Amino acid sequence: MLTYEKPLEWVANPRAGTIATSLAVSSTFPDGVFEEARSFHRQIPGYRPSPLRNLSSLASMLSVGGIWVKDESVRLNLNSFKVLGGSFAIYRFIKSKLGLDGQDLSYDELVSEATRAKLGDITFATATDGNHGRGVAWGASKLNCNAVIYVHKDTSIARIRAIESYGAEVHVIDGTYDDAVRQAGVDAEANGWQVISDTSWEGYTDIPRWVMQGYTTMLSEAQEQLAGTGIVKPTHVFVQAGVGALAAATTGFYSSRFGADRPTTVVVEPSEAKCLLHSAQIGDGEAHDVGGDLQTIMAGLACGEPSEIAWDVLWDTVDAFVACPDYVAAKGMRVYGVPLSGDPFIVSGESGAVTLGALMFAADYAEFHDLKESIGLGPDSQILLINSEGNTDPEYFRRVVWEGANSVPAEYRWSPEVELLD
């Protein structure tokens, strides 16, 4: 009888390989939107592309062609990619409110007193596990607007304080992230606030779509950085998921750019919040919720209810859905933090590191040969990972990296004698 949870639970999605052109992708990411998002973000003071790290030594150890990490831990000194989506959604919302759809609005004009006077009093509201709320609070502060951010009861004090540092009011909800989403919506309607959410529901799709479009700036950057090394595109992308917005932005970007020749994509989520894997297992094309208390160290991915518009993109474009227990994310954090000789040191939080952990188990262990074969992982594979966050919860980061919290079960610990795949 097993006394531990296996590191990978997975299901293939072969239908994605039959779809050359996805209506969900084309409607969510229309022509020109990647350029629009990148143009806006370039105007933000302090903007610079986040680095693309090359883990060449680890790639050799795993017998793959290359491992490339888009390191969002340094994005605008906010420790996460989330600001890209929140800021672009606020920008698009304000353009729409001012009747400027289809017209140019510079960043300087956006944050000007003239624009503020036209807008009147606006309060932005959202629910978050930490990083999205911090991005929205940052955006609101640049506009001198109020922000009210809802977090669930298990959100760390460090993440709450980071949100409050931008002048936002934080409400702690006695429930899960999904409960916080619902309460934010109820209170926003009652108070006339504007919700800036990365998840969608019936009647609320424009802003989550703009959030996903904003995320694509980092993919545009990654493509330029890969091109500088002579790589046209990655062959594989491992991307983490909560409600699915980041994953949909990633697969949507590559499907728009490359059609049927897009990279093979693997979506990774926590075992305790595997709403996308669950939806794929049901296989009826609909998004399905999972219940439970969603207890996982991967706070940014602790979501039981998928974004419906994100799911539509994922169902058409993802080749495999994977769920992992917490120890997989913890292993990824430690590998990033104690790299092989020649590889760069990367600070990665729990949600940022799970894809590296998943890749290592998929590439290393004979038990997961079927997964490796299904996605075609091999010596010519050039794999893109996204370190979606840095050290956003210092106390728990130290518990994992210093004290070995969430250690890998003995049955799955690496050793020179471990049975590796050829």
**Annotation says 82 is catalytic:** yes
Q: What are the tens digits of pLDDT across the range 371-422? A: 999 999 999 999 999 999 999 999 999 999 999 999 999 999 977 654 444 3
The reply to whether 74 and 210 lie within a common domain is yes
> Looking at the domain assignment, is residue 418 inside a domain?
no
Query: What is the pLDDT, as a whole number, of residue 421?
Result: 42
> Looking at the domain assignment, is residue 189 inside a domain?
yes
The reply to whether 191 and 318 lie within a common domain is no
The reply to whether 252 and 340 lie within a common domain is yes
The reply to whether 184 and 213 lie within a common domain is no
**Annotation says 179 is catalytic:** no
Q: If DSSP codes are grouped into helix, strand and coil, which group holds residue 192?
A: coil
> Looking at the domain assignment, is residue 53 inside a domain?
yes
Q: Catalytic residue among 6, 70, 71, 82, which? A: 82
> Looking at the domain assignment, is residue 3 inside a domain?
no
Question: pTM for this one?
Answer: 0.96
Query: What is the pLDDT, as a whole number, of residue 344?
Result: 98
The reply to whether 232 and 251 lie within a common domain is yes
Where residue 283 falls (left for φ over 0; alpha for ψ -120 to 50; beta otherwise) is left
Query: What is the pLDDT, as a whole number, of residue 129?
Result: 87
Q: What are the tens digits of pLDDT across the range 3-35? A: 579 999 999 999 999 999 999 999 999 999 999
> Looking at the domain assignment, is residue 1 inside a domain?
no
End-to-end CA distance of the chain: 29
Query: What is the pLDDT, as a whole number, of residue 417?
Result: 54
The reply to whether 190 and 86 lie within a common domain is yes
> Looking at the domain assignment, is residue 420 inside a domain?
no
Print burial letters for 271-303: b (CB count within 10 Å at least 16), e (below 16).
bbbbbbbbbbeeeeeebbebeeebebbbbbbbb
Q: Catalytic residue among 71, 129, 316, 319, which? A: 129
**Which residues are CB-contacts of 229 (< 8 A; sequence separation ≥ 6)?**
54
The reply to whether 110 and 90 lie within a common domain is yes
The domain that holds 116 is classified in CATH as 3.40.50.1100
> Looking at the domain assignment, is residue 218 inside a domain?
yes
The Cα 270–Cα 411 span in angstroms is 20
> Looking at the domain assignment, is residue 370 inside a domain?
yes
The reply to whether 122 and 49 lie within a common domain is no
The reply to whether 301 and 399 lie within a common domain is yes
Query: What is the pLDDT, as a whole number, of residue 61?
Result: 96
Query: What is the pLDDT, as a whole number, of residue 3?
Result: 56
Number of domains in the chain: 2
The reply to whether 320 and 211 lie within a common domain is yes
The reply to whether 44 and 95 lie within a common domain is no
The domain boundary residue, chosen from 169, 195, 221:
195
Domain residues for 119?
82-195
Find the length of the chain: 422
- DSSP 8-state class, residue 251: H
The reply to whether 280 and 264 lie within a common domain is yes
User: Which residues, given as ranges, of the chain have pLDDT below 70?
Assistant: 1-3, 416-422
